[in-house]
Amino acid sequence: MRMMKKLLLLLLSLMLLCPALAEETRPVMQVHQMMIGFADGYLIRCGDVAVLIDGGNALPEQPTDDVLRYLRAAGVERLDAYIITHWHLDHCMNLNNVLAEFGDDDTVVYAPSQKVHADYDPLANGSYEQMVPGDVISFGDMNIHCVGPYELALEGNRNQDSLNFVLEYGTRRILFTGDFAASANINKAYKDICTNVDVLKFPHHGMEPYEIGPAACRTTSPDYVLVPGVANKFKIWNFFDNNGVDFPRENVFTNADGHVVILTDGDYLEFRTQVQLEELPTL
């Protein structure tokens, strides 16, 4: 009987300890804002998982291999998922070039349209799925919650068709917006997960007029803002300040900060700026 009690106490201790051990061993997630000119490109790494978001060309008439070089330098061997927020060249132009090198049969491409855009069909590798509001894609402890667009009018061929999704890891949340923030969804249907995000990826490269409404600014109330472009940091900070959201001006990160990498274990957040390609494998 005494031995049974000891075993029960041991099992109870292990049950109480397991959540703490899980937190301690949760891998560090990396979110990379790639400096690829006036274009969007984000890489998410977490353990063995790699997800690419957009990765287009700033000047379509002058193609570059900046995205491919970045993925190689980061040590990416394959992509589990490739999310295209919408079918504009500065977001999707490298799709098949990337898939040819980093895709395989199990790579899934997600975009807002029902089918792959005709210019990229057939895909060089992998399969295609439409992402719609309410979808949740999970990789271990990393969850991607789709919260936009509010309305799909041109099958992903306009800014307002942009996918919006929240990357959730532990207690941390990052809202990606493509070129448009679906204010109605952010403020209503998906308000719970969009309220007080840690990081907001600012829509449309920080170009004015800003493609995010004042109410959505207040709902998201981010502590940090990522801008994939050469936007004026002061103007963006002032835009939030005028709409009742206050955070340090230095918490806006643009191409002026070079390659930016966010590191988090789901609790702490660390931002590294001006990251060189040769530094990527040691992050």
* Domains annotated on the chain, with CATH: 28-277 (3.60.15.10)
Task: Give tens-digit pLDDT for 200-253.
Answer: 999 999 999 999 999 999 999 999 999 998 899 999 999 999 999 999 999 999
Alpha carbons within 13 angstroms on the beta-carbon side of residue 252 total 23
Contact (Cβ atoms closer than 8 angstroms) between residue 29 and residue 57: no
For 123-175, what is each residue's pLDDT tens digit? 999 999 999 999 999 999 999 999 999 999 999 999 999 999 999 999 999 99
Whether pLDDT at 47 is above 60? yes
Q: Are 199 and 175 in contact (CB under 8 A)?
A: yes
Give the pLDDT band (50/70/90) at residue 73: very high
Q: Shortest CA distance to 119 belongs to which of 104, 152, 97?
A: 97
- Strands of 120-189 (E only): list them: 127-130, 136-139, 142-148, 164-169, 172-176
pTM over the 0.85 mark: yes
Whether residue 17 is predicted with pLDDT greater than 70 in this model: the reply is no
